A = this chain, B = another copy of it.
Amino acid sequence: MTHKIAILGASGYTGAELVRLIAGHPNMEIVALAAERKAGQSMADVFPHLRHMDLPRLCRIDEIDFGSVDLCFCALPHKTSQEIIRDLPKTLKIVDLSADFRLRDPDAYETWYGNPHVALECQEEAVYGLTEFYREEICAARLVAGTGCNAATGQYALRPLIAAGVIGLDDIILDLKCGVSGAGRALKENLLHAELSEGTNAYAVGGTHRHLGEFDQEFSKLAGRPVRVQFTPHLIPVNRGILATTYVSGNAQDIHDTLTAAYADETFVEVLPFGQTPSTHHVRGSNFCHIGVTGDRIEGRAIVVAALDNLTKGSSGQALQNANLMLGEEEVTGLMMAPLFP
């Protein structure tokens, strides 16, 4: 059986990545691609790397017949997403890649994103889309909220450790190195090649990055008490990839054992042998997340490093993994491609 798929926001990087992945999925067919400002254009005009595919022309959202759609990926900006999703048929399965349905608490949403939430009913039913930890809820969900790509990376490193109580909760530091595609296709001066290549800098320093809303929500829920981490993202001159270097207190061997056990049955999360560290080079273009654990020379301190591709495991691959569950497909279908190296 072939599932009919629509993608809203098809002219951005996560939209294109969804198309790339679905192209390799045996049981999905893209029936609609929406991009308001580019409606009427062919996908080959917007993304020439997809020119070999037989795809519907870009259209406006209101041109889509959602009655014949089985599942809709929504890759629109936050705020727009909730306005659109609120008005979609209430029976339509939706995987949202925006930030709009990630935070359970509407006040937290408004605090981090600056605007009041206008689709509270949808938010109510949304399931947080970190597949490995919400698998059952996702299978039964109508609306799944894809996680932030930084938020995903940090959580893969830390969730099992917080849940198992093997690390201290009051001195967690996440130092992230992020590829530029995470910032999207927007025309900003700091994203120009001449400005961004050949250097690096921190941004959103001091606890102002919006993905902290997700860390706070999820880590506190796991711990059963408020947990607030320090998180500093850095922009590095690579297109894809996030490396999360996390500094924690705890016994490094226990930490490694805990992670190894937690991910033993997971296809996409690989815990490296103790003392090895991952590289974003080795997950590029794939749905894999590599995790490494090393003990520090300082007794009781450890470093946990996680690497994934922000466009795949961090957003569109995760979205497809969730869609598979929602549609009764094998979770891994269409997602087993090996990373591209070099």
Q: Which residues of A contact B (CB under 8 A)?
A: 13, 16, 19-20, 23-24, 47-53, 171, 173, 175, 177, 180-181, 185, 187-189, 191-203, 205-208, 212, 228, 230, 232, 234, 236-241, 243, 245, 247, 267, 270, 275, 277-286, 288, 290, 292, 294-298, 301, 303, 305, 307, 336-342
Name the distance in Å between A163's Cβ and chain B's nearest Cβ: 22
Contacts of A50 in B (CB 8 A): 338-339
- Do A200 and B243 form a contact, CB below 8 Å, given A191-B192, A194-B181, A282-B49? yes
Name the distance in Å between A166's Cβ and chain B's nearest Cβ: 17
Name the distance in Å between A317's Cβ and chain B's nearest Cβ: 12
- Do A200 and B177 form a contact, CB below 8 Å, given A52-B270, A192-B191? yes
**Do B337 and A297 touch (CB < 8 A)?**
no
Apart from A24-B336, A49-B282, A197-B237: 18 A-B pairs, beta carbons within 8 A? A13-B342, A48-B282, A49-B340, A49-B341, A52-B270, A175-B175, A175-B247, A187-B189, A187-B192, A197-B198, A200-B243, A201-B279, A206-B275, A207-B298, A228-B297, A234-B243, A237-B237, A239-B342
**Do A285 and B207 touch (CB < 8 A)?**
no
Contacts of A342 in B (CB 8 A): 13, 181, 194-195, 197-198, 239-240
